[in-house]
């Protein structure tokens, strides 16, 4: 989880208007866990690669909608976006950010509910389904992605050794994604202290 994500935008110019709107919602509710701008730019770029109309983008863990705003800012016309958030007040506030964007929906629920809106061309796992927390299984990308579809799992810390380690232990969650038999996956360095795993489902 990105602890200082919302604060990381302080003083940044040139943000997409929808991202600024989501940041206003995050700041007004003192929500600190938004994705960092480096991650947001990755999401915007990947969203632009989803063909529309009919393309589908999904996200688990909406927060206040900053990541979803980056996705929506990059998506082509006709692409549908849906994000699932378990906290009802966050889901309601984030839905308000996208009130005039009918192609973008925020759903209140558990992350597994995202399956009802797939399979996806692009799926961002940011609140559930990452496989990082004991008892929270990793999302089944063979079910949730179309063949060739892309999954993004962020908020990893660059390790510089193999197998990757975090907090002194082998980072099992990162290995799960990097070695997933249904994916071609790579680690993408976004900042000296931040990386994401991006994988595409094998055809």
Ligand X SMILES: C[S@@+](CC[C@H](N)C(=O)[O-])C[C@H]1O[C@@H](n2cnc3c(N)ncnc32)[C@H](O)[C@@H]1O
Binding site for ligand X (CB under 6 A): 1-2, 33-35, 60-63, 66-67, 84-87, 90, 110-111, 126-128
Residues in the chain: 203
Q: Which residue is nearest to ligand X (CB)?
A: 127
Least separation in angstroms between CB 53 and ligand X: 25
Output 79 or 107, the one with its CB closest to ligand X: 107
Tokens of 17: 């208007």
Q: Are 98 and 68 in contact (CB under 8 A)?
A: yes
Least separation in angstroms between CB 87 and ligand X: 4
Whole-number Å distance between alpha carbons of 31 and 178: 30
Where on the phi/psi map is residue 25: left (φ > 0), alpha (ψ -120 to 50), or beta?
alpha
The torsion angle over the Cα atoms of residues 147, 66, 43 and 161, rounded to 10 degrees, is -100
Output 138 or 162, the one with its CB closest to ligand X: 138
Least separation in angstroms between CB 169 and ligand X: 22
Least separation in angstroms between CB 155 and ligand X: 7
Nearest to 116 by CA among 56, 50, 51: 56
Least separation in angstroms between CB 35 and ligand X: 3
Nearest to 153 by CA among 194, 93, 106, 102: 194
Output 130 or 184, the one with its CB closest to ligand X: 130
Output 55 or 63, the one with its CB closest to ligand X: 63
Output 1 or 115, the one with its CB closest to ligand X: 1
């Amino acid at each position: 989880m990105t602890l200082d994500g919302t604060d990381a935008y302080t003083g940044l110019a040139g943000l997409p208007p929808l991202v600024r709107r989501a940041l206003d919602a995050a700041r007004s509710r003192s929500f600190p866990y938004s994705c960092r701008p480096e991650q947001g730019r990755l999401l915007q770029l990947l969203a632009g690669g989803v063909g529309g109309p009919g393309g589908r983008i999904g996200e688990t863990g909406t927060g206040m909608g900053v990541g979803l705003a980056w996705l929506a800012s990059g998506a082509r016309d006709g692409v549908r976006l849906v994000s699932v958030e378990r906290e009802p007040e966050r889901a309601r506030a984030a839905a308000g950010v996208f009130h005039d964007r009918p192609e973008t929906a925020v759903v209140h629920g558990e992350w597994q509910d995202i399956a009802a809106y797939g399979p996806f061309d692009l799926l961002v796992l940011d609140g559930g389904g990452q496989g990082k927390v004991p008892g929270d299984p990793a999302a089944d990308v063979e079910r949730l992605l179309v063949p060739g579809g892309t999954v993004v799992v962020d908020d990893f810390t660059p390790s510089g050794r193999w197998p990757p380690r975090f907090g002194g232990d082998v980072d099992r969650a990162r290995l799960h994604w990097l070695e997933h038999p249904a994916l071609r996956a790579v680690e993408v360095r976004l900042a000296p202290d931040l990386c994401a795993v991006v994988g595409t489902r094998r055809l």
